[in-house]
Amino acid sequence: MKTLTTVGEMQAAAAGVRSLGRTIGFVPTMGALHEGHLALVRRCRQESDVAVVSIFVNPAQFGPQEDYLNYPRDPERDTELLRRESVDILFAPLVEEIYPPDYQTYVSVERVSEPLCGRFRPGHFRGVATVVLKLFNIVQPHRAYFGRKDAQQSVIVQQLVRDLNLPIEIVVHPIVREPDGLAMSSRNAYLRGEDRQAALVLYRSLGRARELIERGERRADAVLREMRALIEQEPRARVDYIEVVDAASLQPLARIGGRTLIALAVWIGGARLIDNLLVEETPDGFRFHL
Protein backbone atom coordinates (compact mmCIF):
# COMPACT_ATOMS: atom_id res chain seq x y z
CA MET A 1 0.00 0.00 0.00
CA LYS A 2 1.30 3.44 -0.96
CA THR A 3 0.54 6.36 1.35
CA LEU A 4 0.20 9.69 -0.48
CA THR A 5 -0.22 13.01 1.25
CA THR A 6 -0.30 15.68 -1.46
CA VAL A 7 -2.96 16.53 -4.02
CA GLY A 8 -0.33 16.49 -6.78
CA GLU A 9 0.88 12.96 -5.94
CA MET A 10 -2.67 11.62 -5.71
CA GLN A 11 -3.79 13.21 -8.99
CA ALA A 12 -0.68 11.87 -10.76
CA ALA A 13 -1.32 8.36 -9.40
CA ALA A 14 -4.99 8.52 -10.52
CA ALA A 15 -4.00 9.70 -14.00
CA GLY A 16 -1.53 6.82 -14.25
CA VAL A 17 -4.17 4.24 -13.30
CA ARG A 18 -6.70 5.72 -15.72
CA SER A 19 -4.18 5.85 -18.58
CA LEU A 20 -3.86 2.06 -18.30
CA GLY A 21 -7.66 1.70 -18.64
CA ARG A 22 -7.98 0.47 -15.04
CA THR A 23 -10.82 1.46 -12.70
CA ILE A 24 -10.50 3.32 -9.40
CA GLY A 25 -12.76 2.56 -6.43
CA PHE A 26 -12.74 5.07 -3.58
CA VAL A 27 -13.77 4.97 0.07
CA PRO A 28 -13.60 8.42 1.75
CA THR A 29 -13.27 8.22 5.54
CA MET A 30 -12.33 10.32 8.55
CA GLY A 31 -10.32 7.42 10.01
CA ALA A 32 -10.96 5.70 13.37
CA LEU A 33 -11.83 2.77 11.14
CA HIS A 34 -14.27 0.07 12.18
CA GLU A 35 -15.94 -2.93 10.53
CA GLY A 36 -18.43 -0.62 8.80
CA HIS A 37 -15.57 1.09 6.93
CA LEU A 38 -13.86 -2.22 6.26
CA ALA A 39 -17.03 -3.62 4.64
CA LEU A 40 -16.92 -0.65 2.21
CA VAL A 41 -13.22 -1.23 1.60
CA ARG A 42 -13.76 -4.95 0.85
CA ARG A 43 -16.55 -4.22 -1.59
CA CYS A 44 -14.46 -1.50 -3.24
CA ARG A 45 -11.53 -3.94 -3.50
CA GLN A 46 -13.74 -6.53 -5.20
CA GLU A 47 -15.41 -4.17 -7.64
CA SER A 48 -12.48 -2.05 -8.86
CA ASP A 49 -8.93 -2.60 -10.13
CA VAL A 50 -7.38 -0.08 -7.75
CA ALA A 51 -8.74 0.65 -4.27
CA VAL A 52 -8.11 4.10 -2.78
CA VAL A 53 -9.08 5.05 0.78
CA SER A 54 -8.77 8.58 2.15
CA ILE A 55 -8.38 9.49 5.79
CA PHE A 56 -9.07 13.15 6.42
CA VAL A 57 -10.84 14.60 9.45
CA ASN A 58 -12.58 17.44 7.65
CA PRO A 59 -12.75 20.60 9.81
CA ALA A 60 -15.36 22.14 7.46
CA GLN A 61 -18.03 19.66 8.54
CA PHE A 62 -17.73 20.30 12.28
CA GLY A 63 -19.65 23.13 13.96
CA PRO A 64 -17.87 25.46 16.42
CA GLN A 65 -19.33 23.51 19.39
CA GLU A 66 -18.60 20.10 17.85
CA ASP A 67 -15.90 17.52 18.43
CA TYR A 68 -13.32 18.29 15.68
CA LEU A 69 -10.33 18.45 18.03
CA ASN A 70 -11.41 15.42 20.04
CA TYR A 71 -12.62 13.34 17.08
CA PRO A 72 -11.05 9.86 17.52
CA ARG A 73 -7.78 9.52 15.56
CA ASP A 74 -5.52 6.47 15.32
CA PRO A 75 -3.50 6.72 12.10
CA GLU A 76 -1.12 3.81 12.86
CA ARG A 77 -3.93 1.36 13.54
CA ASP A 78 -5.92 2.60 10.53
CA THR A 79 -2.91 2.20 8.23
CA GLU A 80 -2.35 -1.35 9.44
CA LEU A 81 -6.03 -2.27 8.93
CA LEU A 82 -5.98 -0.90 5.38
CA ARG A 83 -2.72 -2.70 4.59
CA ARG A 84 -4.35 -5.97 5.70
CA GLU A 85 -7.28 -5.30 3.34
CA SER A 86 -4.79 -4.92 0.44
CA VAL A 87 -5.76 -1.33 -0.25
CA ASP A 88 -3.58 0.07 -3.03
CA ILE A 89 -3.42 3.74 -2.05
CA LEU A 90 -4.06 5.54 1.23
CA PHE A 91 -4.56 9.26 0.67
CA ALA A 92 -3.95 11.05 3.97
CA PRO A 93 -3.47 14.79 3.42
CA LEU A 94 -2.86 17.44 6.09
CA VAL A 95 -5.54 20.09 6.61
CA GLU A 96 -3.42 22.79 4.85
CA GLU A 97 -3.21 20.60 1.75
CA ILE A 98 -7.00 20.52 1.38
CA TYR A 99 -7.74 24.00 2.75
CA PRO A 100 -4.74 26.26 2.04
CA PRO A 101 -4.82 29.66 3.80
CA ASP A 102 -6.58 31.43 0.90
CA TYR A 103 -9.28 28.76 0.52
CA GLN A 104 -12.74 30.23 -0.25
CA THR A 105 -14.96 27.85 -2.29
CA TYR A 106 -17.80 25.84 -0.72
CA VAL A 107 -20.53 23.71 -2.24
CA SER A 108 -24.08 23.48 -0.89
CA VAL A 109 -26.56 20.86 -2.01
CA GLU A 110 -29.72 22.70 -1.11
CA ARG A 111 -33.04 21.00 -0.30
CA VAL A 112 -31.83 17.57 0.81
CA SER A 113 -29.33 19.17 3.23
CA GLU A 114 -32.04 21.04 5.15
CA PRO A 115 -34.11 18.42 7.08
CA LEU A 116 -33.02 15.76 9.62
CA CYS A 117 -29.40 16.38 10.73
CA GLY A 118 -29.32 19.59 8.68
CA ARG A 119 -31.62 21.25 11.24
CA PHE A 120 -29.33 20.40 14.14
CA ARG A 121 -25.90 20.75 12.50
CA PRO A 122 -25.94 23.99 10.46
CA GLY A 123 -23.16 24.00 7.84
CA HIS A 124 -22.34 20.32 8.36
CA PHE A 125 -23.48 19.10 4.95
CA ARG A 126 -21.93 22.10 3.20
CA GLY A 127 -18.64 20.91 4.67
CA VAL A 128 -19.32 17.31 3.64
CA ALA A 129 -20.33 18.23 0.06
CA THR A 130 -17.28 20.48 -0.31
CA VAL A 131 -14.75 17.92 0.86
CA VAL A 132 -16.38 15.06 -1.06
CA LEU A 133 -16.30 17.07 -4.29
CA LYS A 134 -12.67 18.02 -3.66
CA LEU A 135 -11.75 14.39 -2.90
CA PHE A 136 -13.52 13.25 -6.08
CA ASN A 137 -11.49 15.78 -8.09
CA ILE A 138 -8.28 14.62 -6.44
CA VAL A 139 -8.83 10.82 -6.47
CA GLN A 140 -10.71 10.70 -9.82
CA PRO A 141 -12.68 7.54 -8.91
CA HIS A 142 -15.01 5.59 -11.17
CA ARG A 143 -16.98 4.45 -8.10
CA ALA A 144 -17.25 5.75 -4.54
CA TYR A 145 -18.61 3.92 -1.51
CA PHE A 146 -20.72 5.30 1.34
CA GLY A 147 -22.47 3.61 4.26
CA ARG A 148 -26.26 3.79 4.61
CA LYS A 149 -25.96 4.60 8.30
CA ASP A 150 -25.32 8.16 7.11
CA ALA A 151 -28.41 7.98 4.89
CA GLN A 152 -28.79 11.74 4.44
CA GLN A 153 -25.12 12.09 3.51
CA SER A 154 -25.55 9.40 0.82
CA VAL A 155 -28.61 11.18 -0.61
CA ILE A 156 -26.68 14.48 -0.66
CA VAL A 157 -23.68 12.93 -2.41
CA GLN A 158 -25.95 11.29 -5.00
CA GLN A 159 -27.63 14.64 -5.62
CA LEU A 160 -24.23 16.38 -5.91
CA VAL A 161 -23.06 13.83 -8.48
CA ARG A 162 -26.26 14.19 -10.53
CA ASP A 163 -26.41 17.98 -10.34
CA LEU A 164 -22.76 18.53 -11.24
CA ASN A 165 -22.63 15.73 -13.87
CA LEU A 166 -19.78 13.90 -12.19
CA PRO A 167 -19.03 10.60 -13.98
CA ILE A 168 -18.90 8.64 -10.70
CA GLU A 169 -21.11 5.76 -9.57
CA ILE A 170 -22.16 6.13 -5.93
CA VAL A 171 -22.52 2.80 -4.13
CA VAL A 172 -24.49 2.85 -0.86
CA HIS A 173 -23.67 -0.12 1.35
CA PRO A 174 -25.96 -1.57 4.09
CA ILE A 175 -25.48 -0.62 7.73
CA VAL A 176 -22.98 -2.78 9.59
CA ARG A 177 -24.00 -3.53 13.18
CA GLU A 178 -22.41 -4.89 16.34
CA PRO A 179 -23.79 -8.34 17.27
CA ASP A 180 -26.30 -6.67 19.64
CA GLY A 181 -27.58 -4.30 16.93
CA LEU A 182 -25.70 -1.05 17.62
CA ALA A 183 -24.80 0.55 14.27
CA MET A 184 -21.02 0.79 13.89
CA SER A 185 -19.75 4.34 14.17
CA SER A 186 -16.46 6.01 15.07
CA ARG A 187 -18.48 7.99 17.65
CA ASN A 188 -19.30 4.78 19.54
CA ALA A 189 -15.82 5.33 21.04
CA TYR A 190 -17.44 8.10 23.15
CA LEU A 191 -19.87 5.67 24.80
CA ARG A 192 -18.70 5.18 28.39
CA GLY A 193 -19.90 2.61 30.93
CA GLU A 194 -23.66 2.25 30.92
CA ASP A 195 -24.02 4.48 27.87
CA ARG A 196 -23.01 1.57 25.64
CA GLN A 197 -26.02 -0.48 26.77
CA ALA A 198 -28.31 2.57 26.69
CA ALA A 199 -27.29 3.19 23.05
CA LEU A 200 -29.17 0.05 22.02
CA VAL A 201 -32.38 2.03 22.39
CA LEU A 202 -31.92 3.39 18.84
CA TYR A 203 -31.89 -0.11 17.31
CA ARG A 204 -34.75 -1.26 19.53
CA SER A 205 -36.92 1.69 18.51
CA LEU A 206 -36.31 0.94 14.81
CA GLY A 207 -37.15 -2.71 15.47
CA ARG A 208 -40.39 -1.54 17.07
CA ALA A 209 -41.19 0.54 13.96
CA ARG A 210 -40.61 -2.51 11.80
CA GLU A 211 -42.93 -4.66 13.96
CA LEU A 212 -45.69 -2.05 13.74
CA ILE A 213 -45.40 -1.82 9.95
CA GLU A 214 -45.35 -5.62 9.67
CA ARG A 215 -48.60 -5.65 11.65
CA GLY A 216 -50.20 -3.24 9.17
CA GLU A 217 -49.56 0.20 10.68
CA ARG A 218 -49.06 2.80 7.93
CA ARG A 219 -49.57 6.07 9.83
CA ALA A 220 -46.22 7.81 10.33
CA ASP A 221 -47.40 9.65 13.46
CA ALA A 222 -48.43 6.39 15.15
CA VAL A 223 -45.03 4.81 14.43
CA LEU A 224 -43.19 7.93 15.61
CA ARG A 225 -45.23 8.09 18.83
CA GLU A 226 -44.32 4.52 19.77
CA MET A 227 -40.66 5.00 18.90
CA ARG A 228 -40.45 8.16 21.01
CA ALA A 229 -42.21 6.50 23.95
CA LEU A 230 -39.74 3.61 23.84
CA ILE A 231 -36.72 5.96 23.69
CA GLU A 232 -38.05 8.14 26.50
CA GLN A 233 -37.98 5.11 28.80
CA GLU A 234 -34.18 5.31 28.59
CA PRO A 235 -33.07 8.08 31.00
CA ARG A 236 -29.66 8.48 29.30
CA ALA A 237 -31.23 9.24 25.91
CA ARG A 238 -32.13 12.70 24.55
CA VAL A 239 -33.82 12.81 21.15
CA ASP A 240 -32.71 15.34 18.50
CA TYR A 241 -35.21 13.98 15.99
CA ILE A 242 -37.16 10.92 14.89
CA GLU A 243 -38.70 11.26 11.44
CA VAL A 244 -40.47 9.35 8.70
CA VAL A 245 -39.40 10.75 5.33
CA ASP A 246 -39.33 9.89 1.66
CA ALA A 247 -36.01 8.08 1.11
CA ALA A 248 -35.10 10.19 -1.95
CA SER A 249 -36.40 13.71 -1.21
CA LEU A 250 -36.08 13.41 2.62
CA GLN A 251 -39.40 15.27 2.92
CA PRO A 252 -41.76 14.14 5.73
CA LEU A 253 -44.36 11.48 4.91
CA ALA A 254 -47.75 11.09 6.58
CA ARG A 255 -48.01 7.44 5.50
CA ILE A 256 -45.42 4.71 5.07
CA GLY A 257 -45.17 3.56 1.45
CA GLY A 258 -42.90 3.58 -1.60
CA ARG A 259 -39.36 4.00 -0.28
CA THR A 260 -39.60 5.32 3.26
CA LEU A 261 -36.71 6.21 5.53
CA ILE A 262 -37.27 6.17 9.28
CA ALA A 263 -34.33 8.11 10.69
CA LEU A 264 -33.32 9.27 14.13
CA ALA A 265 -30.58 11.12 15.98
CA VAL A 266 -30.29 10.60 19.72
CA TRP A 267 -27.76 11.80 22.27
CA ILE A 268 -26.55 9.13 24.67
CA GLY A 269 -24.35 10.89 27.22
CA GLY A 270 -21.79 12.83 25.16
CA ALA A 271 -22.33 10.87 21.94
CA ARG A 272 -24.76 11.95 19.23
CA LEU A 273 -25.77 8.73 17.46
CA ILE A 274 -27.75 8.33 14.24
CA ASP A 275 -29.44 5.26 12.81
CA ASN A 276 -32.19 4.43 10.36
CA LEU A 277 -34.51 1.85 8.84
CA LEU A 278 -35.21 1.82 5.10
CA VAL A 279 -38.62 0.41 4.22
CA GLU A 280 -39.29 -0.52 0.61
CA GLU A 281 -42.75 -1.32 -0.66
CA THR A 282 -42.64 -4.07 -3.30
CA PRO A 283 -45.43 -5.94 -5.11
CA ASP A 284 -44.88 -8.77 -2.55
CA GLY A 285 -45.10 -6.52 0.52
CA PHE A 286 -42.58 -4.50 2.51
CA ARG A 287 -38.84 -5.12 2.58
CA PHE A 288 -36.92 -3.84 5.58
CA HIS A 289 -33.28 -2.75 5.53
CA LEU A 290 -32.16 -2.35 9.11
Q: Which residues are catalytic?
A: 37
Q: Does 253 contact ligand PAF by CB under 6 A?
A: no
State how far the alpha carbon of 45 is from the alpha carbons of 99, 150, 193, in Å. 29, 21, 36
Select from 4, 131, 224, 237 the one that contacts ligand PAF (CB under 6 A): 131
Nearer to ligand PAF, 142 or 256 (CB): 142
Q: Does 138 contact ligand PAF by CB under 6 A?
A: no
Count of other CB atoms within 10 angstroms of residue 288 = 15
Q: Does 128 contact ligand PAF by CB under 6 A?
A: yes
State how far the alpha carbon of 250 is from the alpha carbons of 65, 149, 224, 263, 280, in Å. 26, 15, 16, 10, 14
Select from 10, 29, 112, 134 the one that contacts ligand PAF (CB under 6 A): 29
Select from 87, 132, 250, 268 the one that contacts ligand PAF (CB under 6 A): 132
Alpha-carbon gap, residue 126 to 56, rounded angstroms: 16
**Cα 278–chain centre separation:** 14
- Judged by CB under 6 A, the chain residues 31 through 60 that form the site for ligand PAF are 58
Give 49's DSSP letter: S
End-to-end CA distance of the chain: 34
3-state secondary structure of 199: coil
Q: Does 139 contact ligand PAF by CB under 6 A?
A: no
Q: Does 150 contact ligand PAF by CB under 6 A?
A: yes
Q: Does 28 contact ligand PAF by CB under 6 A?
A: yes
Q: What is the largest CA-CA distance in the chain?
A: 58
Instruction: Report yes or no: 276 and 289 within 8 Å, Cβ to Cβ.
Output: no
- Judged by CB under 6 A, the chain residues 57 through 76 that form the site for ligand PAF are 58, 61
Q: Which of 275, 267, 155 is nearest to 210 (CA)?
A: 275
Q: Does 7 contact ligand PAF by CB under 6 A?
A: no
CA angle 88, 92, 96 (to 5 degrees): 150
Q: Does 78 contact ligand PAF by CB under 6 A?
A: no
Query: Which stretch, 28-36, 100-108, 163-171, 233-241, contacts ligand PAF (CB under 6 A)?
Result: 28-36
Nearer to ligand PAF, 35 or 194 (CB): 35
Q: How many residues bind to ligand PAF according to rule CB under 6 A?
A: 10
Nearer to ligand PAF, 79 or 153 (CB): 153
CB of 149 to ligand PAF, least distance (A): 9
Query: Which stretch, 8-16, 125-133, 220-228, 272-280, contacts ligand PAF (CB under 6 A)?
Result: 125-133
Helix ranges (DSSP H) in the chain: 7-19, 35-47, 75-84, 95-98, 117-120, 124-139, 151-163, 195-198, 200-214, 220-232
Strand order in the sheet with 50-55: 2-4, 89-91, 50-55, 24-29, 143-147, 169-173
Alpha-carbon gap, residue 230 to 192, rounded angstroms: 22
Task: Give the per-residue contact string, 151-170, with ligand PAF (x = CB under 6 A; - = no).
Answer: --x-----------------
CB of 243 to ligand PAF, least distance (A): 20
**In the complex, which residues of this chain contact ligand PAF (CB under 6 A)?**
28-30, 58, 61, 128, 131-132, 150, 153
